[in-house]
Structure 1
Amino acid sequence: MHSSSVILLASGNSLGAYIPAMHLHTYLQTKGIETDVQVLENVYQEEVRNKIRSTKKAFHANFAVARMGHKLAKPIDAALDEESVQRLLDAWKQAGISRFAVFTGFWLPILERYKAAAGRLLDIRLIRLDAWDTPSFKVHKELYPGYNNVWFYEPSQLSPGSYIASDEVEPLPYGERTGRILIHGGGWGIGTYAATISELRLLGRGLDVIVYDPSEVDEDDGITRYFGTQISWDPWSRDALGRHTFPPMIRYVRTDGVLREYPLGDYSAYMYLMRNCAAIISKPGGATLNDSLSFGIPFIMLEPFGDHELHNSNYWEACGFGIRFTEWKTGNYSDDLLEEMCKRLVEHRSKINHFGRKTYAAENSSYI
């Protein structure tokens, strides 16, 4: 790393605070901008980090438990490993790091320490991919007003200002897509998404389902396809070259009760599903709003997880980019509605810039 590097501060606790960071990392690398992704869990105490999987499992199993956990969110200071934090701060200071893109508010206490020690002007941008405070920012309301908050979905303006993607490839026209619907429950596999699968299967809709656990995979019906991330992967681990990676994807097929796994290689397999789908069904998380805009995907929204997702749902609906599942069902699962939303999304996307190009690629010459 050197002083012109951009440090992307993510979290593995939520893929919504990890995948967009990885998209921005990938994009900036192609533009010749040095970046490094730092995942918050790597400065946690080991015993705290080890509990994350069991918490995710509990939240996946019971949406009510997940919502209660959301309400009880608190600063993570007690979970931090002081030696790991100090090593990170020392490394930033030694390299003269001054540019940060922050995808979760839980990094703010650490950034406060760096601001006090750095001895230089810092460019710290808080990436706000929701239309309201998420728990990680809400618990630091006294800190975040002192930073550059980049609201992608400014609540007072029904016009998203940017999107983040790994590239700038244009979305596919609606008529060229496969017509399949992508269904998932976010990085933790939570929400009411599972109930929609059997309902849509009865209608003969082609579905691509992202499961949280292979046990969710039903017998192959020739129409529904199941995918998931490799069980052993976690966002805070690095590969053999010391890099954070997108989750490796697997396709699952259950035939005569036997489950088979087909590794799909890199994350481009999942991005192919997004580029080609007619709509996405999920809870209204901020990262999924970004996917909707980046790929021009109509968003059929399920029950929200927390106040921020309720605001996300209201915002996307008001923009004409999404519809609540109950309303889509009332409208007889209309494809015409989806096509109208797709046209609005693609038109709006054509008028705005990729955040990485607008913010960092355009400024890069001043740091060389």
Structure 2
Amino acid sequence: MGKRTVTILCSGFGLGLYIPGLLIDRRLREKGVYTEIEVFENLISQDKRDNIQKSRKAYHSNFAVALMSARMPMDIRQSIDNELADAMMKSWAKENRRDFILLSGHWLHIIDEYRTRIAPETVNAEILYVDCDLPPSWKSLQQYKPDYNQSYKEVWLYDFENTKIQYQIPIVNEEPIPILERPERFIIHGGGWGMGTYQGKIPELQEKGFELDIVLYEIQEASRKRIGDRCFMVDPSWRAWNKNERGSYEFPPLAQIIPDEEPIFENKEEYHELFDITKNTRAIIGKPGAGTLMDSLSSATPMIMLEPFGEHEKKNTRLWEKLGYGISYDTWKEKGFSMEILRELHENLVKGRKAALDYTEGYKYRNSL
């Protein structure tokens, strides 16, 4: 039979469905649970993986293109390499894999097929939703009706209807730095793909004298920095679906970009490097993606929210506003870029993160691991 292993099914298409998977993996391992990670893009052909990079560039350059793509349903089955999928399922069957956590809807076809190959009732598959609504990878599954499908357990991190955080995925095991002890800096970025309207806000913030930690997506963007700003960038050659030399999936390698210096890209085993920058800032300025919400909650760093990507991020915005964890950029601007408001939001986050249950603890309990 072998060890009971929890298989965490991620997607590298967006870091909001990749980094949470790695965090779950690390936290479960700390609790003595055996885990394996799979990244969906390893089941599609090389040319289609190359197209992901082209899409990323297009979405970064033009947010309108990204917004349009979020509304277009797609059938991911056309992209799956059946031989690769077959080999993976045979390997799972040989190892008696029974426990799965799905972060991306792209995996549903694979798990459905795996169920038909072995006794369906022996597959324990849990879907974890890391946004307040279904993101594109789930909405594109037009035949899938979450409320009526009893084959999967479903867990939502956030209860939007009742304005509640049900679970959190802890990033570090430490208390947040009090906001008044942090330097008066702001981190500004566009999530894993550098999407959104954040670049247009940089000149205004610089004019106000705010010091920024800017996450770049192309090296030439470093020319926009001013004295007091810092620039960071993920290694442009890194791909979420490639394992490192130790045979593991890893967090994105990050470097500070300093003029006339060769960047040194580094990452940690336990969590993503960007978190260490975020936890030392007064607020995150960007769109409210799944990974950014996790950073906000875990570090008790308020969100100053820009235009969301898709309906799921619109709901993320509304939840963070209702809970008093974030504020829209326009409202913050109307209130004179108030630091007092950020202090209040920080205090709400400190209380909220104490009340939110650890998802991995709940998973262990639900599945008697």
- Bin for the TM-score computed over the shorter chain: over 0.9
Q: Deviations over 1:310-345 (max 9, x none)?
A: 111111111111111011011111111111011111
Query: Any idea what SS the aligned residue of 2:349 has?
Result: helix
| Contact in 2 for aligned 1:219/1:253 (Cα 8 Å) | no
**For structure 2, which runs of at least 5 residues remain unmatched after alignment?**
none
Q: Which amino acid aligns with 1:136?
A: S
What's the C-alpha RMSD, in Å, of the aligned pairs? 1.8
> Which residue of 1 is the match for residue 294 of structure 2?
290
Structure 1 pair 299–95 and aligned structure 2 pair: CA distance change class (3 A): same
Alignment correspondent of 1:191 = 196
| Aligned 8 A contact 1:108 1:143 in 2 | no
Alpha-carbon displacement from aligned partner over 1:260-280 (angstroms, at most 9, x marks no partner): 524344365422112211110
- For 1:24-103, what aligned pairs fall within 5 Å after superposition? 24-103=24-103
- Alignment partners' CA distance in 2, 1:316 and 1:230: 30
2:219 is equivalent to residue 218 of structure 1: no
* Change over 3 Å in CA distance of 1:2–1:363 after alignment to 2: farther
> Where does residue 127 of structure 1 map in the other structure?
128
Q: Aligned residue for 1:231? A: 236
Secondary structure at 1:276's aligned position in 2? coil
Aligned residues of 2:252 and 2:272 also touching (Cα < 8 A)? no
If the length of structure 1 is used for normalisation, what is the TM-score? 0.94
Q: One-letter code of the match for 1:345?
A: L
Q: Distance in 2 between matches of 1:198 and 1:359?
A: 44
Evaluate the alpha carbon distance shift between residue 54 and residue 341 of structure 1 in structure 2; reply closer, same or farther with a 3 A threshold: same
1:276 maps to amino acid? N
Amino acid at match of 2:243: R
- The alpha carbon displacement at 1:141 in A equals 4.7
Which deviations, in whole Å up to 9, do the C-alpha atoms of 1:164-222 show, x marking residues without a partner? 13433222222222231111101111100101111111111121111111111126533
Residues 66, 268 of structure 1: alpha-carbon distance in 2 compared, 3 angstrom cutoff: closer
Percent identity, aligned pairs only, is 33
Name the residue aligned to 1:148.
153
Contact 2:186 2:210 in 1 (8 A): yes
**Cα separation, 1, equivalents of 2:273 and 2:63:** 28
Report how many residues are paired.
Answer: 362
Matched, 1:302 2:306: yes
Amino acid across the alignment from 1:284:
P
Q: Counterpart of 1:5? A: 5
Amino acid at match of 2:334: T
Residue 118 (structure 1) shift? 2.5
Deviates more, 1:74-83 or 1:166-175: 166-175
One-letter amino acid of the counterpart of residue 301, structure 1: M
Contact 1:26 1:166 (C-alpha < 8 Å) held by counterparts: no
1:344 aligned to which of 343, 348, 351: 348
